Structure 1
Amino acid sequence: MLFINRQLRKHCTCSSPPFLLLSVCFCQVSIDSIPFQPNMAYGTLEVVLVNAKGLHNTDFLSKMDPYVIFTLKTQEKKSTVAKGQGSEPAWNESFLFTVTNDVSELHLKIMDEDTFTADDYVGESTISLEPVFNVGIVPPTAYNVVNKDQEYHGEIKIGLNFSPEPETNSFCSGHYGGVEDYGGWKESTF
């Protein structure tokens, strides 16, 4: 078995000496034998945006039109605008994210849509993904919304569901991050 990942090499039981950058191992190593590490999760994360309450109102003459921007590493999703719902908006929307290596938290930013000026910042929250990676589901839970000075600006209710990618249960399955390999080499198009 060809190892590029040092984490797998540590769990190898054979005595093959490592070569320069790669090491060769002839034993069977299963991902299941490696201790759980939250930053090694692969699969699909469903984020359920339920509602918010007690949001700091940024509009003085009318009700806010809030929306949420979710960020998971480089992926970004935006909710619909809760027109005229003010500081107690309800969305009941779901968003899907692809989870790859080295993801530990979901960041969200709440904004107030304005027609003639730039949208106003309402607040933000950061949600640890370790519980959903361990259990698979976190029912809708209230998370504090804070401003840039970490002052409380309300709360937002979010549910999380994680579906691990079934192919990652065995390193020997032939699938390494979606790239199809033949004998350890990617097939060339030349």
Structure 2
Amino acid sequence: MTRGILAVHIVEGKDLKKTDEFGHGDPYVEIWLDKNAQKFKTDVRRDTPTPVWDRKYHYNVTNQCELHVRVMDEDILTDDTIGTASVDISDIYTCYYIDKWIDLPDVDGKHRDGQVHIILEYFPPHLIAEYFPSK
């Protein structure tokens, strides 16, 4: 049973770790909820450590409580991982709106390899028809 709709707005990134030998990376973001198979991917932003994606994605949610964010650097052969984070989103069901910067810890968790700015909006069933007339 659907509990509502979660809008995930991937706004921008900053201070992203450089993974390329020359120039800056070509970053993009992948997101998914809990163990959800539905994964979204932003467009690639070329040669920048401060990308602006400004993309919004929607999930039908029940009781998911974790958003997974992975920032990748597109390469010719194999894309490199810049950073990965899991975000507790359980508060979204009571506050309806969260605007935050997500730290991307390095593999050892000792420092961060950049940040991603996200905005989360939750629309409970009684608001879905008002904001999403086609649902």
Q: Same fold (TM over 0.5)?
A: yes
Which residue type is aligned with residue 98 of structure 1? N
Which residue type is aligned with residue 89 of structure 1? P
| Contact map agreement 1:58 1:64 (CA 8 A) in 2 | yes
| Contact map agreement 1:111 1:120 (CA 8 A) in 2 | yes
| Structure with greater contact order relative to length (CA < 8 Å, sep ≥ 6) | 2
Question: What's 2:103 paired with?
Answer: 144
Once the two structures are superposed, residues 15-68 of structure 1 have per-residue CA deviations (whole angstroms, 9 ceiling, x without a partner) of xxxxxxxxxxxxxxxxxxxxxxxxx98111101111111111101212210000
Q: Which has the larger radius of gyration?
A: 1
Runs of 4+ residues over 2 Å off in structure 1: none
Unaligned 5+ runs, structure 2: 128-135
Once the two structures are superposed, residues 140-162 of structure 1 have per-residue CA deviations (whole angstroms, 9 ceiling, x without a partner) of x1111113322311111100000
Shift of residue 131, structure 1, vs aligned partner: 2.1
The structure with the largest helix share of the pair is 1
- Give yes or no for the alignment of 1:166 onto 2:129: no
TM-score (norm 2): 0.84
Question: What's 1:134 paired with?
Answer: 94
Question: What's 1:99 paired with?
Answer: 61
Structure 1 CA distance, aligned partners of 2:66 and 2:53?
21
Question: What's 2:5 paired with?
Answer: 44
Structure 1 CA distance, aligned partners of 2:94 and 2:2?
10
Which residue type is aligned with residue 93 of structure 1? R
Structure 1 CA distance, aligned partners of 2:92 and 2:62?
14
Question: What's 2:43 paired with?
Answer: 80
| Contact map agreement 2:2 2:60 (CA 8 A) in 1 | no
| Contact map agreement 2:25 2:73 (CA 8 A) in 1 | yes
Structure 2 CA distance, aligned partners of 1:162 and 1:42?
10
Identity among equivalent positions (%) equals 31
The structure with the largest strand share of the pair is 2
Question: What's 1:61 paired with?
Answer: 22
TM-score (norm 1): 0.61
Question: What's 1:5 paired with?
Answer: none
Structure 2 CA distance, aligned partners of 1:49 and 1:122?
16
Question: What's 1:17 paired with?
Answer: none
| Contact map agreement 1:41 1:164 (CA 8 A) in 2 | no
Structure 2 CA distance, aligned partners of 1:56 and 1:99?
32
Unaligned 5+ runs, structure 1: 1-39, 168-190
